[in-house]
Amino acid sequence: MFVGFLEGFGFGVPVGGSGELTNALIASIKANGGEVLGEVDVTAIRTKGGRAVGAATKDGREFTAKDGIVAALQPARLGQDGGRRRAGNRQGRFGTQISEIGCITVHAALKAPLKFRAGANVKAVMIELLPNKYDTIRKSFDSLRYGEFSSYPLVGLGSLTMFDPSRAPAGAATMHAWDYVPYQRADGRDWDDTKHHYVKRMLSHMENFLDNLSDSVLAYHSDSPVDMERTSSSFRRGDLHGVAAVTYQAQSHRPTPDLGYNVVPGCERLYLVGPFQHPGGGVSAPAALLPSGIRRSEDRRVKDREALDVHAVLHGQLQAHGDRSARAQRQRSLDQGQGVRRHADDRAPVPQRSTQGTQAGELQARVIPADVPAALT
């Protein structure tokens, strides 16, 4: 699905670096009379009468919300129920599952653009360096499931200077690469002491696909899953998607059925954004939810609730009708001298009831035919 989405709609690359997207959003907020405060840690959401009314910060300041609060809150921080959640378990109303698989990243400055052994036609925002056997991929992910390093590193990379040369001096280039690793190492060693050793493993593996990597790296910075958790409370145990990207935590059930509409039950005007919400990890603009997006979300939830209520009423009517029909049939049988003989261990006949359901919504999918480039081998 993800590959098909990229083929159909492309992948945006901000000119001048990813920070330019942040700058553009800040400029838009200021142009509309807003203010952006950086390096401010919010410690609590203030509520009154079942409604979010403000926020408190670590430095003691209080901010009042006129219309609402948009927050990138990890579900585990919502109430006592979510707080009882442990990694890998779903407990409580807001309990979610966190992935046991983290990510290690490398950001490198290169003295020259990368040269792929597959040829100069390799040019994409995301490039996966995959094996040519499906079983090898499966075995690699199986190793990760059991807390081990993959036998075949599943490295992906991007060199965005292919599309935006302004990100590096003339003739130079940039590269970011990633691989999947367990948050907790099976050997018990600390990621702070060992991440550079793993980066060397990654770079060595990448040389199977690149001609000039070893000679081109000027310097690099790396982040382990532990580093990512330190960077943001959103990335618990280094999970870049906020919560695990599994089928039961997808679409309107992401992160949970109660929170899947970007609102918090029992707390009006508190709206949720971030990687924990649909569609998951990546860059999503919180401002896009206000005001019409949130209104549509609330309206859809009300309509779904109404549809379920209608279904419950219809089901109740049909059940009552079935019971009356069964009683009438038994009475007719007795009147005709065809009574039903029962023994001590007999059960009463179960009447056949018609069933009817209502459909709250319809999911439509549009398939975009596209030639997906073959993975590099």
pLDDT of residue 168: 96
Closest CA to 126 of 376, 361, 308, 368: 376
What is the distance between the terminal CA atoms of the chain, rounded to a whole angstrom?
A: 22
Using DSSP's 3-state secondary structure scheme, residue 376 falls into strand
Strands of the chain, DSSP E: 42-47, 52-57, 62-64, 69-71, 101-110, 127-128, 156-158, 173-182, 217-223, 263-264, 267-272
CA–CA separation, 279 vs 258, rounded Å?
Answer: 16
pLDDT of residue 374: 32
Task: Say whether the peptide bond before residue 275 is cis (omega within 30 degrees of 0).
Answer: no
Q: In what order do the strands lie in the sheet with 127-128?
A: 127-128, 156-158, 173-182, 101-110, 217-223
The maximal CA–CA distance of the chain, rounded, in angstroms, is: 101
The residue extents of the domains of the chain are 1-36, 101-231
Q: Do residues 174 and 161 make contact, with C-beta atoms less than 8 angstroms apart?
A: yes
Structure-token pair, residue 18: 């990813």
pLDDT of residue 73: 85
- Cα pseudo-dihedral 58, 59, 65, 69, rounded to 10: -30
Task: Say whether the peptide bond before residue 75 is cis (omega within 30 degrees of 0).
Answer: no
Write down the residue that tokens 């840690």 correspond to. Answer: 41
Length of the chain: 377
Closest CA to 139 of 129, 152, 126: 152
Q: Do residues 242 and 129 make contact, with C-beta atoms less than 8 angstroms apart?
A: no
The predicted model scores a pTM of 0.69
- CB atoms closer than 10 angstroms to residue 43: 10
Q: Do residues 81 and 91 make contact, with C-beta atoms less than 8 angstroms apart?
A: yes
pLDDT of residue 74: 85
CA–CA separation, 35 vs 373, rounded Å?
Answer: 44
pLDDT values of the chain reduced to their tens digit, one per residue, 377 residues:
666 777 787 778 889 998 998 899 899 999 999 999 988 989 899 999 999 999 999 999 999 998 999 998 888 887 643 333 333 344 456 788 888 889 999 999 999 999 999 998 999 888 999 999 999 999 998 999 888 999 899 999 999 999 999 999 999 999 999 999 999 999 999 999 999 999 999 999 999 999 999 999 999 999 999 999 998 888 888 888 888 888 899 888 999 998 988 899 889 999 998 888 888 877 654 444 454 555 555 565 555 555 545 444 444 444 554 555 555 555 555 555 444 333 333 333 333 333 333 333 333 323 233 333 333 32
Q: Do residues 243 and 276 make contact, with C-beta atoms less than 8 angstroms apart?
A: yes
Write down the residue that tokens 């919502």 correspond to. Answer: 78
pLDDT of residue 32: 92
Find all residues with CB under 8 Å of 126, minimum gap 6, and list them.
Answer: 6, 11, 156, 158
* Rg over CA atoms, the chain: 28
Q: How far is CA 201 from the centre of its chain?
A: 28
CA–CA separation, 198 vs 238, rounded Å?
Answer: 16
